Structure 1
């Protein structure tokens, strides 16, 4: 184990001891050596393990799928706070389906739907949400959903990409080189998807329903303004512990 820690540390891995222990839990012998080689080469840890820690859960993570971040735990907690048993939740731009799983775990009986444009994410999310009976749809934002779901969601939780295009080159290599561009690129100011979602979401919410969008700390006021312009009563929640920010819009009713 000492040589594994030394190799990871030499490669610039900050928490080398912790990662070495996790890799050793996942494999041994030649398989462990291969995983260490891939991690040293820059691959993200979570797909090598096959899971990511999120809101106290182990969420399945497939290769080349967006890895859930700790900051998104705020989105999951706020969505769970607003969700009710037997109400419908949409995990939009779902990636692995981590938010949907976390909400279903916190609110037993909630009916989970999820959608993503990336086919690999859809397959990953179907595996994640199968234990809680979640349905996962493939397509571009709300166009992925069957028409029968229109007007029926109590909560729509969104982790759409919000990194400005020119900032992607500044992201850690494990994100920019190993995660799909479609899960990172938010357009010139990072808000392209937020604009589209805000413009369409009210039609998919039930009366009194809530739209929650994870956003950047410096972008929060603009995301909130988009929700206000869509006719939603809007607040912004932040959590310094996880470095998360969420704009929340409530539909009257």
Structure 2
């Protein structure tokens, strides 16, 4: 009897393994921490494995156009996924907003950034890190904020560009830049600054950072890709996303 039970368990495990799949996911750098948690939970709940690559949305666009094997894109904007959809690089009707990002002016120093961002006007600030506005939506938002505050021309010579928002945060966290415009998700937990000091930039100072997900053409026939997109809409995933300061 025990032998029959063991055989049955092996058969069940094999069947589960046959159903489990793998999905290649391109993830905007600002969404690194929450997506790592979501992918781990996704694997536990579904058996599927999400292989994650992190970087700037603009570079992912170029890579997809050049045949990169990504099956799902989690972008830092809504323009890039819409463009890929128009250009036939994605499955129509699969695009949706999985999060709305928040921008924060942040310093690794406690008490350095005031509640209104007036520190930007200080001549003592030598370097301000922003993500490359040509490829990173958070960089585009940072430029918009500086222009709206009438400070862009004043601080332009002090701006240090990160290749993506992850590198931008690195510049600020190491002190190579006294200030950095980074994603709230990188420095906050439960909507509050977890370390250093920061000013959560009012959403009225820049266009909404709507972050869209999309099933790419290479993932059309992959059940694991469709399952991941569905999972992003689940209560478990949404709770993780909200805990990093994103709006839903």
- Greater relative contact order (Cα < 8 A, sep 6+): 2
Larger radius of gyration: 2
TM-score bracket for this pair, using the shorter chain length: under 0.3
Q: Could you state the TM-score of these two structures normalised by the residue count of structure 2?
A: 0.28
TM-score (norm 1): 0.27
